[in-house]
Amino acid sequence: MFYLAHRLDDASGQRFLLSARWDTGQFEAYEAFKNLGLEHPGLVAPIDVFRKDGVLYSVTPYDNESLLLDEASPLPNGRLLALGQRLTGVLAYLHTQGVVLSWVRRANLLITAENKVQLFDLEVEEILERPVPLDRSLHVIGQLGEL
């Protein structure tokens, strides 16, 4: 996976993150994910996706969150556990909606000013045709990358 994010400002002062994907095999799954229109307090979903010159770009709102990627590594155990607890709900929500992720890594986590974690710019492997009951969703969990 290649990852690129840029902060953009529009005329109204709204800020955005723009990310680019070069893996054409995941373009359709990510576009389908955007089209689901999912809303969850632990998810920053893309507001737009578009293709240009063989690259898939996604646009997500940005409100001065920090990237977990910017925090020192390795994370202290207490911090890691707190983040893991916060992520559990949004991951369960995504899986019940039929979203299969390839992985979740530090680069996919934003930290709000209130110290809450939000997933963004996800590596979507597949969107299942129908929602998955929570008690059966464990088989669709990919792998958690290094946090």
pLDDT tens per residue, range 35-88 = 999 999 999 999 999 999 999 999 998 888 888 878 788 888 888 888 888 889
* CA neighbor of 34 nearest in space, from 10, 15, 60: 60
Q: What is the pLDDT of residue 10?
A: 61
CA torsion 82-90-92-128 (nearest 10°) is -150
Confidence band for 7, pLDDT divided at 50, 70 and 90: low
Rounded CA separation 15/59 (Å): 10
Which is more confidently placed, 105 or 138? 105
pLDDT tens per residue, range 88-113 = 989 999 989 999 999 898 889 998 88
- Measured in degrees and rounded to the nearest 5, phi and psi for residue 87 equal -75, -25
- Measured in degrees and rounded to the nearest 5, phi and psi for residue 77 equal -55, -45
